[in-house]
Chains A and B, each alone.
Chain A
Amino acid sequence: MVLALAGSLVHAGVGLQPTLNPAGWPQLRRFLAAAVEPAASPEFLRLTWEATLTTLAYAVLGTAMALGIGVVAGVVISETWWRRPPSGRSRRRGRVGEVGGWLASRLVVGLPRGVHEAVWGLFLVSILGLDPLVGVLAIGIPYGAVTAKVYAELLDEAPRGPFEALRSAGVGRVRALTYALAPLAFPDLLSYAFYRFECAIRGAAILGIIGAGGLGFQLALSFQSLRYDEMWTLIYALVAVCGLADWWSTTLRRRSALPTRTIAGLPAEREGHDSVVAIRPSLRRDRRLHASAVVAVALVVVSVWHLGIDVSTLWAPRAQRLASEIATSSLPPDLGAANLARLAALGVQTLEMSVIAAVAACVAGMVAAFAVAGGSDGSRPAGALRQVGAIGARGLLLVARAVPPPVGALLLLFVLLPGPLPGALALALYNAGILGRLMAEVVENLDPGPLGALRSQGASPGQGFVYATLPRTLPRFAAFGLYRWEVTIRETVVVGLVGAGGLGRLLGQQLAAFDYRGVTATVAALVVLTFAVDVVSAAVRRSLR
């Protein structure tokens, strides 16, 4: 890992050639100064309000679709589903069927996952035209695939005893799953659903840049002519909506005593499962949960109506005609030797960007997480200074993940020289916002016992941190970081679109030239890369557990 990082940094030119451009500081400062003077004319505020509702509606429907796909496909791609009952027939044939079926289904969901939602958006626009469904599908399809993968892992992680008992007794797969597995995994599935929702809000904002409306669209417009005051108003709106979603999820999880261990889809800790079983009865009676379910359904209905969704466009003759036109112009992909060599070289660059981004995001996220948790942790009340620090860090994290990576890339480009580094660091900043929040939750949920024991033995705060806090959080942090590494591969596309290098830059040029065969090949390369990173990071995560 360290070697990969060092290699990436050296290749990106760090330390070998100048990377800083201090002369660009006034440009960056103008953007930062506008933070305290956002555009606030009544007209612009009304525009922001309406854009916020549209973004929210896209996020709600995109999440709903993702969860629908996630539940169905997640079951089908789980190892548990493919496992034969213990008393199965011919053992060897069964084993081949198990592994084969599981791998094939894995590949099927790997495909939509490797393609960024912005690319999905462009593809869908050329088939469906001006239709709000484009925005919903562009979020729903890739997020559905991610959700399916995570749900499959959660199901596989849930205690399998009751399920296998039912299966051995001859109960069908679907029923055994419904009665024995799903209830055990439910809290984790729910908390991940909320995490996805917050991601979908940000996803809808990035989609706006290709024309899916709402805050992202307005942000793209103001960004084109660098109206920083307008950009800040829109960013604050995004922060508010994300904050609201976060608050809904936290409230629900805390008050319903749902565990918060599986944010970002990481498997639950083993010892936690007793408590999952223990809270089962209270789940049933929880009114907040019921009320939230009602609200969620209402939000979906209202969003369908607000956006004017009409699914019949999907099978309209025109969509079929355009889809077949796109298929003929984009297949077969351009796989000539020259193009393959180019894809390999740029793929390495993309990989390097993703490594730098993931590691930097991890480090920054960790620092922020301890700052955030510093306001509330430990047995004694935190000092005023630490509380202020905690609030500040929380706010910074919120803003960091609300600034779309293309915007971040341009800002960094003011003070850094061109190359892959500004794009990588823009992704790092964005992902640090996400990771910091997830990591802070880990720190906050830490059992205070060991630290308290050390401190009462006379250990200094520093010693307590090093010997009690760090050892129990670092493996989890590393796991989060590895998970985001795969995501950053896909996201290099959006910073590539602003010229930050790698496969994303090539994709931008191919899209501008309507070189569909080239686009197909580049997208395929990104899918392969995502898949490879997924395999590596899954292996490392397994070894960390």
Chain B
Amino acid sequence: MSGTDRLDVLEARTSPLRPRTARTGTSTPRPRTTVAPRRPRRRPVLVSVLVAVVVVLGGCGSADEATSGGGARNPVAPAGDQVFTIGAIPDQDPEKLQRLYGTVADYLSEELGVTVDYEPVTDYAASVSLFRAGDLDMVWFGGLTGVQARLQVDGAEAILQRGIDERFHSVFIANTATGLQPIDDLAGLAQLEGRRFTFGSESSTSGRLMPEHFLRQAGVSPETDFAGPPGFSGSHDKTIELVAAGTFEAGVVNEQVWNSRRDAGEVDPGKVTAIFRTPPYHDYHWVIRPDVAERFGDDFVDRVKAAFTGLDRSDPTEAEILELFGADEFIQTDNGNYAEIEEVAGDLGLIAR
């Protein structure tokens, strides 16, 4: 699986709220002796071990500080600090992008001529809050979370999407033992009534919002028409596993994740099968805050767009970035493309109207 063999370039940065001293991936613990505090002899084992822990903890911190360059950003930085902070919540192989994000930050730094900080986040609600607070200047949102974020930040703009996001699909899957048959049209989804069914994450566009919309069009009301309330597995991979296990008889996943798992041979076709491909809709996109223009220059948004649309497969680094995002290419988008998502989200009570 490509996810694990590429850990060799893994940059061990930590979290969105990570220590600011642990900025770089190149840190190595400093030899203990250099910072070992004076300590009396003949201490019990307990104390020496604890001292060693303190020293190592401190040693790492100091090594990090020593090697951290201009990338270090103070969380309470003065207004003049020009750091462009981005974050992403990918749906496919989140651990790959979140642990290899140094590649993305370095590329953008070079292209844009400003310091770029990548903050990995795992939680949709947290990333929307951070975008609203201004701690994230640009975020890779899903269709729904992008709309939610723009509703909370006046003037925020959807600027870029992947080629596939223009016509994104979800796939309804079923455990083969259920006898559920592939269907050709939306109305066929009615056969899921009375079955145990799971969505992905509550905030997912492809794993929840649009599938719920299509189910309702087929006359299936998720809260009442399944056997028990629908599950929220938390991710597409979990949905696939839970349907394969038979815990849920059917579920719905992002088509890109489904295809990638199926092609990698990670899905047992004897246990779980695709039964319906939904009509297309818009999904993932980069949303940028309006204040970047005054901080980085009027043409900054255009330069960001160019940096992404110009990603070239023939360059190994740029090809890697495309792969981390599961993208063939990046293309422009605009707020208008998400009107349908916004309407559906309003119908389902996922945004305030």
Contacts and interface: CB of A to CB of B under 8 A. Distances in A.
A149 to B, nearest CB: 28
Nearest to B95: A221
- For the residues of A in contact with B, the DSSP-based class is helix
Given A209-B123, A225-B3, A130 B135 contact: yes
Interface stretch (B158-166, B299-307, B329-337, B345-353): B345-353
A515 B352 contact: yes
- Interface size bracket, B side: 35 or more
Given A209-B122, A224-B237, A513 B350 contact: yes
Interface string B1-36: 001100110101011111111100001000000000
A302 B7 contact: no
Interface string B42-53: 011011011101
Interface in B284-333: none
Interface stretch (B103-111, B180-188, B226-234, B275-283): B226-234
B57 A303 contact: yes
Interface centre among B57, B124, B242 (most CB of A within 10 A): B57
Given A417-B247, A418-B247, A50 B22 contact: yes
Contacts of A54: 14-15, 18-19, 22
A451 interface: no
A131 B119 CA distance: 12
A514 B148 contact: yes
Nearest to A295: B50
A132 interface: yes
Interface stretch (A21-29, A155-163, A363-371, A387-395): A21-29
Interface in A115-137: 122, 125-126, 129-132, 134-135
Interface string A131-175: 110110000000000000000000000000000000000000000
A271 interface: no
Interface in A279-306: 287-288, 291-292, 295, 298-299, 302-303, 305-306
Contacts of B126: 122, 125-126, 210-211
Contacts of A210: 122-123, 126
Given A227-B3, A499-B233, A213 B17 contact: yes
A318 B133 contact: yes
Interface in A216-242: 217, 220-222, 224-227, 229-230
Given A125-B129, A225-B235, A417-B196, A316 B76 contact: yes
B241 interface: yes
Nearest to A216: B15
Given A43-B7, A224-B237, A512 B124 contact: yes
B228 A418 contact: yes
Contact of B44 (A288, A302, A310): A288
B22 A44 contact: no
B17 to A, nearest CB: 5
Given A227-B3, A302-B54, A122 B60 contact: no
A101 B246 CA distance: 55
A307 B51 CA distance: 19
Interface in B43-81: 43-44, 46-47, 49-51, 53-54, 56-58, 60-61, 74-76
B344 interface: no
Given A129-B135, A299-B54, A512-B202, A413 B247 contact: yes
Given A126-B132, A212-B17, 12 more contacts: A54-B15, A132-B75, A212-B15, A221-B94, A224-B238, A225-B3, A226-B237, A308-B20, A414-B245, A414-B247, A415-B245, A508-B202
Q: Which 4 residue pairs spanning A and B have beta carbons closest together?
A: A213-B15, A24-B245, A512-B202, A308-B20
26 contacts: A24-B247, A43-B7, A43-B12, A50-B60, A54-B14, A54-B22, A57-B57, A132-B17, A211-B17, A211-B122, A217-B120, A217-B122, A221-B98, A222-B95, A224-B237, A226-B237, A292-B50, A295-B47, A299-B57, A302-B57, A306-B61, A307-B19, A308-B21, A318-B134, A410-B242, A499-B233
Interface of B: 3-4, 7-8, 10, 12, 14-22, 27, 37, 43-44, 46-47, 49-51, 53-54, 56-58, 60-61, 74-76, 85, 93-95, 98-99, 119-126, 128-130, 132-136, 148, 152, 177, 196, 198, 201-203, 228-229, 231-235, 237-238, 241-242, 244-248, 349-352
